[in-house]
Amino acid sequence: MADSAEPAFVRWTVRVTESEGEVALLAALAAFPAGVEEERDGDAVLISGYAEPGFVPDLDASADAVPPGWRDGWRAFHRPVRVGPFWIGPPWLEPDDGVEAVVIEPGLAFGTGAHGSTRAAAALLLREPAPRGSLLDIGCGSGVLAIIAARLGHRSVRAFDVDPDAVAAACANATANGVAIEVWTADALAGPIPAAALQVANLQRSLLEPLADRAALGPRVIVSGLLEHERFRPLGYDVADSEECDGWLALLLERR
């Protein structure tokens, strides 16, 4: 039986060919910055985002009311992943034996860490040598990367996001995973950005470029959220390492 307290949502879906997928995904992320779903249907790619009734995205998309009982279908969409020693997944699934579990409540769109851009950035975090210094997660979403950084032993982990719902999710997930992370609401393109030995920014390129133009990036930065062909190297930086995952690219940038 459906939960009578379930909020109403509309699922907006764009159906495109594989060659059109990258452009459509960027457009969907702009319309639904908290996150989207991406599925395959034969030769087509389906990209979907959720919104409350009354919201109409600037997309050539079809709309379907999410039926009662959507929580079960939504839960089935979220699958666990492995990144090095870490099992990353939602709280309703049981971690594998002998792994270090990072349990993430995904909210309605922030995700559990299964997205290729998150996994690519996490892989670069795993290659960081000890001792690990301070870390700042710029645009933290549900807090997956910040929590992994804390588990890896970074001396001080801080994170922020422009979306208050993401900040609340990151705080709750940090507490659930037993790590101490300072999280607050801020706009990476407007407010001050604290210094850190390592910064992480898992954002789309349309946000990474103005972020770099602000000269807000520190001496070492992991940038992710790039498509494989989007090599990104701000002036004054070298690419020290890279990782690709499911068509997404993460780079470790080091200031010259």
Per-residue DSSP letters for 58-93? SSS-EEEEPPTTHHHHHHHH---EEETTEEEE-TTS
- What is the pLDDT averaged over residues 61-68? 81
The number of CA neighbours under 13 Å toward the Cβ of 157 is 23
Write down the pLDDT at residue 156.
Answer: 94
pLDDT digits 0-9 by tens, 125-146: 999 998 999 999 999 988 999 9
Contact between 78 and 112 under an 8 Å Cβ cutoff? The reply is yes
pLDDT of 43 higher than 60: yes
Backbone angles phi, psi at 63, to 5 degrees: -120, 140
> pTM score, two decimals?
0.76
- What is the pLDDT averaged over residues 30-58? 82
pLDDT of 1 higher than 60: no
CB count in 10 Å sphere of residue 194: 14
Residues contacting residue 241 through CB under 8 Å, at least 6 positions apart: 124, 127, 251, 252
pLDDT of 2 higher than 50: no
What's the CATH superfamily of 116-255?
A: Vaccinia Virus protein VP39 (3.40.50.150)
- For the chain, which residues make up each domain, given as ranges? 10-73, 116-255
